Amino acid sequence: MTTCSIRRAAAALAALLPFAVFTAAHADIGDYEFQLVQTDVNQGGALIAVRLLDKRSGEAVSDAVIFATRLDMAPDGMPTMTAPLDALPSTEPGVYRFKTKLTMAGAWRLSLAAKVQGESGTLESRLILKAVP
């Protein structure tokens, strides 16, 4: 191989290197967030829906695995006041639904932990909703 050929090959490789690094980059777990579909829900039997978004594109993410949930009244100073959460089937891509029974009106904290397919780390989120009579 001649010196000229080596220089051309090196130049071609240098030109492609930024693209190789860009395409190999993965998202950070911080690039995702849960958002409440509604912040106010009915006291008593209630449906809670959250949307998982990729903050970079604004697109919904539908393949996450939510493995930990908790609903409590910590925002109103009662973290031991909890309510059960039952997962429901999704009716819309990227929306995760839960059924619960909120025994008191007031502020409730929904805590979620999830794995996003293809990403390392755990997405943890704490969302505040309001139960209204």
SS3 sequence of 52-121: EEECCCCCECCCCEEEEEEEEEHHHCEEEEECCEEEECCCCCCEEEEEEEECCCEEEEEEEEEECCCCCC
Plot region of 53 (φ>0 → left; ψ -120 to 50 → alpha; else → beta): beta
User: For a pLDDT cut of 90, what percent of the chain falls above it?
Assistant: 77
Pairing of strands 85-88, 40-42: unpaired
The pLDDT value given to residue 25: 45
Q: Please report, for the chain, the start and end positions of each structural domain, with discontinuous segments joined by +.
A: 28-132
| Candidate from 11-20, 23-32, 49-58 with smallest mean pLDDT | 11-20
The pLDDT value given to residue 11: 55
Over residues 104-130, mean pLDDT = 97
Is a pLDDT exceeding 70 seen at residue 17? no
Confidence of residue 13 (pLDDT cuts 50, 70, 90): very low
Instruction: Name the CATH topology of 28-132.
Output: Immunoglobulin-like (2.60.40)
